[in-house]
């Protein structure tokens, strides 16, 4: 349900890549790769939708916090943005590392996309919890 709602938030005309589940279930590598990439793209859309919500909450907190006091440290949003940039670098390097066991082979994209989907879904949940904490 939430996934379907978040997918509606995607930009108009933003189509997901094809996925032939029947061929993927039969073990056809190209179909498996395509379906794994599609799954990652869905997870990425969910992350981006949650990012917009969490960003807005952190900006709201900044407006509330800085109305009268400045301790010289970065605000909620600036800290969140720094963490997100570091997380993106981590995700890409971690998944590339996992996929290197299959470097140059037909399974490399499958492992990379599967890893990215899993880490992206975990990060989406972290962002959701962050926005809800003290919100």
Which domains are assigned to the chain?
Answer: 20-65+75-132 (1.20.1270.180)
Residue range 68-106, pLDDT digits in tens: 677 788 999 999 999 999 999 999 999 999 999 999 999
Residue range 45-72, pLDDT digits in tens: 999 999 999 999 999 999 887 666 777 8
pTM, two decimals, is 0.84
Residue 107 makes CB contacts below 8 A (sequence gap 6+) with: 29
What do you get for the CA distance between the two ends of the chain, in Å? 23
């Amino acid at each position: 349900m939430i996934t379907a709602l978040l997918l509606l938030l995607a930009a108009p005309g933003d189509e997901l890549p094809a996925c032939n589940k029947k061929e993927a279930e039969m073990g056809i590598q190209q179909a498996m790769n395509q379906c794994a990439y599609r799954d990652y793209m869905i997870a990425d859309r969910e992350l981006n939708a949650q990012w917009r919500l969490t960003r807005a909450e952190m900006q709201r907190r900044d407006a509330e916090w800085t109305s009268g006091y400045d301790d010289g440290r970065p605000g909620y949003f600036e800290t969140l943005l720094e963490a997100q940039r570091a997380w993106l670098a981590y995700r890409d390097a971690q998944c590339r590392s996992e996929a290197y066991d299959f470097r140059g082979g037909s399974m490399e994209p499958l492992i990379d996309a599967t890893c990215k989907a899993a880490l992206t879904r975990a990060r989406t949940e972290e962002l959701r919890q962050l926005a809800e904490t003290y919100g």
